[in-house]
Structure 1
Amino acid sequence: MGLNRMMMGKGEVKVEDGSKHWTFREADNKTISFTVPKGIKRIKVVAVVDYAEDTEDYSSFYANIKNTINNKIWGEGISECEMLENINHVDIDSIVGVTPNKTYTLHFDCYYTTDGVTFSWGKAINSMTPTVEDY
């Protein structure tokens, strides 16, 4: 009997890689429920914030994803411009410690992202150290 079959027989869950993407329009001031897949302990959250530049005064673009129950921020990014020059830029790139099979209710404020938000998971991500813990 192979190792995978032996582990499955002992109640172990096979961890499969996967992802979920929301466009910036889908993630524009929306509350979304997300259920963590079986066996997943970490979610990688990625979004590229629009780059603020070319304005003669101050401008900024902000994006974040927050748990509506406990206000834990799963990811936060910003881009700021002052006098035609970008002075600060941080994209969303976090590893969130989660509970397998749990459904999270998250508020997305991610209109100012280049291509929306992507959640990724899998065996390699499960082994990463969380930057946010939301168990």
Structure 2
Amino acid sequence: MNKLTIYHNNNCSKSCTALSALKQSGEEFELIEYLKKVPTIADLTKIVEKLNCKPHDLIRKTEKIYIEKFKGKELSDQDWVNAMHEYPILIQRPILIKGNHAVIARSSETLQESINYLSQSGDD
């Protein structure tokens, strides 16, 4: 059975809220502090696929590094994945993944729905 995974940043209140909710849910999960253990380019590519989005949609556009280095630039999907690998602070959070399903659980309104949905997801 696939375990739920959370890509987490301790400095993000929404990520901490999601982690707390996961702990309270009783759902078994794996915690990945992605600023300490940076996802590989392959991992990031899989995350984007599971989220069914473009890599640019996973970028935090309010981060200083984004504004300084990337704002207004048109990059390829691969270049955005490379940028997230090089500067993981750019990655939206928290990301919850189980099997082939993933969500960015930023909204407190949808956080519990996301946990419930992923908890009930199969192992596909």
If the length of structure 1 is used for normalisation, what is the TM-score? 0.27
Tell me which protein shows more strand as a share of its residues.
1
Tell me which protein shows more helix as a share of its residues.
2
Report which of the two structures shows the higher radius of gyration computed on alpha carbons: 1
If the length of structure 2 is used for normalisation, what is the TM-score? 0.29
